[in-house]
Amino acid sequence: MLNWNGLADTRAAVTSLLTQTWQGLEVHVVDNASSGGDADALAREFGDRIVLRRHDRNLGFTGGHNGLLRELIARGDVDHVALLNNDAVAAPDWIERLVAAIEANATIGACASLMVFRENPGTVENAGIVMLRTGEAIPRGRGRPAREFASAADVAGVCGGAMIVRSAALRQVGVFRDEFFLNFEDVDLSLRLVATGWRCRYVPTAMVRHGLNQSIDKVRDDAFRIRSIRNMSVAYFVNMPWQVLVLTLPWQFVSWIVAPVAAALVGRPSFAKVLLLGRLRALREWRGLLRDRLALRPLRRAAWWRLFLMHGSSFAAYARFLRDVVLLRRREPMK
């Protein structure tokens, strides 16, 4: 668990982990250079019931987690690593359900939880990740009744806010990309997993209540939005086979060209600018994209047509986007 100036939320989240039914659990809390003495307060309250790590600067979600992830998967006695956002509260059997699901089949590399809204637990906040043919990722089921997501299923990816991942899978594909800092790092990791033959599985009985965006809202600005667009673009172009990239070109055109033009035409020039600058930032890094694609090539195991078929339709998602973000001027749905 990562804490950054969120002491009250972190206390509740840690307490939910310390009361889990699963007995083989170590609770690690990483303080990302909080400014209000959070780490000292956590140490006083929880003592040796948690393992506390302190950073001297804010390393983001990726840098905040990666050092510890590398240590844990190198130890040899850690079969799985679970991540929980500090603004989430886990059900008592959350870990037990995730462990049972990931150990049910050796091909499962990671499992997603049923994340419901903290103030409205009957409504889904996230039930895994859906990939669109436009190359974008959206939360599966957001805003829909939780009862509609009562069945387990393979999904395109898992949300880093409440997930479990197999240590062996991380040793093979690596941890989060440090340069992502925050946002869509879980999508990138998920796509690496599925590209190399691992499955991502949604577990409806593993439930957490999530106070969405409690930490992200502290840093949400144009720089954050531009980096988010860049991160999603990099994740897709690095991990998807070239056959999928070719087949999704018409939808990519919609995402890269039509969406910014539409935003500008209806009076959202600032958002159009963010979309374009994010894409251009990814394009400027083409050498790194090619290098990372080449590094992934020997590990690829999944058939390209399977990865293409796992994409969801872009039409419904873009209709909601145009209605909510462009016309009604609600905040863009980037997590």
Query: What are the C-alpha distances in Å from 120 to residues 115, 211, 218?
Result: 11, 10, 22
Tokens encoding 47: 């003592």
pLDDT the model gives residue 319: 76
Return the biggest CA–CA distance within the chain: 57
Virtual torsion, Cα 129, 98, 95, 239, nearest 10 deg = -40
**11: which DSSP letter?**
H
Query: Cβ(99)–Cβ(22) under 8 Å?
Result: yes
pLDDT the model gives residue 326: 58
pLDDT the model gives residue 285: 96
pLDDT the model gives residue 314: 84
pLDDT the model gives residue 95: 98
- CA 323, 254, 185, 102 dihedral sign is positive
Q: Which of 288, 297, 201, 184 is nearest to 240 (CA)?
A: 297
Query: Cβ(68)–Cβ(54) under 8 Å?
Result: no
Q: How far is the C-alpha of 145 from the C-alpha of 163, rounded, in Å?
A: 21
Per the listing, tokens 């499992």 go with 111
pTM score, two decimals?
0.94
Tokens encoding 244: 């999928």
- CA 88, 91, 94, 97 dihedral sign is negative
Q: How far is the C-alpha of 177 from the C-alpha of 43, rounded, in Å?
A: 29
Mean pLDDT per block of 10 residues along the chain (335 residues) reads 97 98 95 95 98 96 97 96 98 98 98 97 97 95 96 98 98 97 97 98 98 66 93 98 96 90 86 94 96 97 97 81 63 46
Amino acid at 81: V
pLDDT the model gives residue 327: 63
pLDDT the model gives residue 217: 59
Distance of CA 276 to the CA centre of its chain: 23
Amino acid at 175: V
pLDDT the model gives residue 333: 45
pLDDT the model gives residue 258: 86
